[in-house]
A and B are shown apart, each in its own frame.
Chain A
Amino acid sequence: DTAVSQTPKYLVTQMGNDKSIKCEQNLGHDTMYWYKQDSKKFLKIMFSYNNKELIINETVPNRFSPKSPDKAHLNLHINSLELGDSAVYFCASSQQTNTEAFFGQGTRLTVV
């Protein structure tokens, strides 16, 4: 069974469109995250949720809106996509911030 699963794996879309990436974890973890990995492989945290509540919002444009319907899901919605949004987005979960984080396989977003 996949511990952290995110869909889709690949997403190609035009500038200006709105898209969503879904994430689910079956590990019973309290904390979930979204990370952005750019072409240089830099891994930057975007959001952190604990028990459905937003804990961290790291200066991400408000075009990005995370939504956590329950503890096991953290979806990422992006409005008005821009070329600079092209990256690999990783969902992750952990029991606490300072314990092992389990990452999904990533969603490669390409904005054309």
Chain B
Amino acid sequence: GENVEQHPSTLSVQEGDSAVIKCTYSDSASNYFPWYKQELGKGPQLIIDIRSNVGEKKDQRIAVTLNKTAKHFSLHITETQPEDSAVYFCAGGNTDKLIFGTGTRLQVFP
């Protein structure tokens, strides 16, 4: 069945450093790849998304890259801040369904 793998499961960085989270997907029909941030006690919230007709997208300190051939996509956060600490989820899907990755707990130390 469809699957989205996410690595690493935990990531600790110093404030100001960059953080990279990687995901791979199995369903070649997937055409939509969002990233969600979940803070403690809250629901996931979209931070950036990319579609299969685009290779890269950037929004201030956040960027996402997509390699359709290899079926993997990555989230890059530059100049990390303590408030970036949260659980991040990648997801992949199409008009039928969206499959979430297993999550990455990011900790940014001041």
A residues apposed to B, CB below 8 Å: 4, 40-45, 48, 56, 90, 92, 96-106
Contact = CB atoms under 8 A, between A and B. Distances in A.
Given A42-B102, A97-B98, A98-B98, A103 B93 contact: no
B42 A105 contact: yes
A32 to B, nearest CB: 13
6 contacts: A40-B102, A97-B93, A97-B94, A97-B97, A98-B94, A100-B49
B69 interface: no
B43 A106 contact: yes
Given A42-B103, A43-B100, A43-B103, A100 B46 contact: yes
A48 B36 CA distance: 19
Given A43-B44, A92-B43, A56 B87 contact: no
Shortest Cβ-Cβ A-B pairs, 10 listed: A103-B43, A98-B32, A43-B100, A41-B103, A100-B46, A103-B44, A97-B95, A90-B43, A105-B43, A106-B43
Contacts of B105: 41
Interface in B88-110: 89, 93-100, 102-103, 105
B39 to A, nearest CB: 11
A41 B98 contact: no
A101 B46 contact: yes
Contacts of A96: 95
- Residue of A42, A92, A98, A104 with most chain B CB atoms under a 10 A cut-off: A98
B37 to A, nearest CB: 11
A106 B44 CA distance: 10
